[in-house]
Amino acid sequence: MPPRSSPSERQRRLGAELRKLRLRARMSSDNAAKLLEGERSRISYIESGRLSVSHNRLHKLLREYGCPSGPYFDELMSMGQASGKGWWDEFTDTIGPAARDLAELESRSAVLRTHEPLFIPGMLQTEEYAHAVLSETEGNPQRTNRYVEFRLARQRILTGDTPVTCRAVIHEAALHARVGGPNVMRRQLLRLMEVSRLPHVIVQVFPFEAGIYSAYSQSFAIFGGVPPELDTVYLEHPANSLFLRDGVQLDEYAKMFERLCELALAPVDPESAPETHASRDSLSLIQHVMYTL
């Protein structure tokens, strides 16, 4: 089988992890190729995600590279055998490779940490709100509707049998932006309070008075793998979205998110009694904005 020209993010990540393990084991490409009884170029193709590796050969490489048994080993094996097919295949008429990569990444994640300075995070959007946002960037009504369907389908990871733990920090500016008009925004803010009742969802608001730290960090999401070694930072961009997997970059974004949580108001707790809101928190701010729309 010839090398693929456009590997998926999962395939690229598996290749990057194999390269990292090989270098950590101080093994040359030539010696790694000998393990597979192949040419040096074969290892290069595997490490760039352009060539698949069979179950037995992947297992052999991981063992020879000194990768210990455990969640990390198991997940790499799983990534190597995954077909890349899923519910997102229903949307190939509309979405591109980056969106499919995102949906597959979400399906393999255990934790989602997301920061949004201007909009409500896509995972927490209502259908009306999503339609209002997407219609501004997509002039074709039919394509807009498909994009909305895709976004809502992605939200299933919050309500499935093994839901993803989600923590969102949303800038106060996103609450005031009248996306779709006052009625759409009221229902969207109500949705934030409703979804916060889920035990695995935490919503915090970053208030204006906390300063400009939130603006500097821009929009990003951190997807936590089953083993933390496979965490991924996702930066959405209309022209070219980015998947960051470098350890230093991951650490920087993780620290940035923790700082955002520290500066943000206390999380939304819709079940708490009114008298417990003596001090300003995320819930009281969302309610205030909703009642003033």
Domain range for 72 is 9-81
Say if CB 123 and CB 203 are below 8 A apart.
Answer: no
CATH no. for residue 21? 1.10.260.40
Please check whether residues 57 and 139 belong to one and the same domain.
no
* Percent of the chain residues topping a pLDDT of 70: 96
For the segment 147-174, what is each residue's pLDDT rounded down to a tens digit?
Answer: 999 999 999 999 988 999 999 999 999 9
Last residue of a domain, one of 81, 111, 143: 81
Tell me the C-alpha distance between 178 and 186, whole Å.
9
Residues 150, 95: contact at Cβ < 8 Å? yes
129 and 261 both lie in a single domain:
yes
In this structure, the answer to whether residues 43 and 172 fall within a common structural domain is: no
Number of folded domains that form the chain: 2
Instruction: Give the CATH number, domain containing residue 178.
Output: 3.30.870
- Across the chain, mean pLDDT equals 92
Instruction: Give 251: exposed, middle or buried? Use CB within 10 Å, 0-12, 13-18, 19+.
Output: exposed
Beta strands in 78-236 (DSSP E): 109-116, 165-171, 201-206, 220-225, 232-235
What does the pLDDT read at residue 273?
A: 58
Written as six digits, the tokens of 59 are 């297992």
149 domain-assigned:
yes
Instruction: Supply the angle between the helices 282-292 and 182-195 in degrees, to the nearest 10.
Output: 160
Q: Are residues 100 and 169 in the same domain?
A: yes
For the ranges 84-93, 133-142, 174-183, which has the lowest average pLDDT?
A: 133-142
Q: Which two tokens stand for residue 95?
A: 């979405």
The answer to whether residues 73 and 97 belong to one domain is no
Does 276 have pLDDT greater than 60? no
What does the pLDDT look like over 123-144, one tens digit per residue? 999 999 999 999 987 778 899 9
Compute the CA torsion angle 31, 36, 38, 43 (nearest 10 deg). -70
Instruction: Report if residue 2 sits inside a domain.
Output: no
- Strand 220-225, strand 165-171: pairing: unpaired
In terms of domains, do 100 and 168 share one? yes
Please indicate, yes or no, whether residues 27 and 136 belong to a single structural domain of this protein.
no
In a domain, 122, yes or no: yes
The last residue of one of the domains, among 43, 64, 81, is 81
Sign of the torsion angle spanned by Cα atoms 211, 212, 213, 219: positive
Is 263 found in the same domain as 189? yes
Beta strand 232-235 pairing with 220-225: antiparallel
Last residue of a domain, one of 32, 60, 81: 81
Whether residue 109 contacts residue 224, with contact meaning beta carbons closer than 8 Å, is answered with: yes
Query: Each residue of 6-47: pLDDT tens digit?
Result: 999 999 999 999 999 999 999 999 999 999 887 788 999 999
Give a yes or no: residue 4 inside a domain.
no
- Over 60: is that where the pLDDT of 224 sits? yes
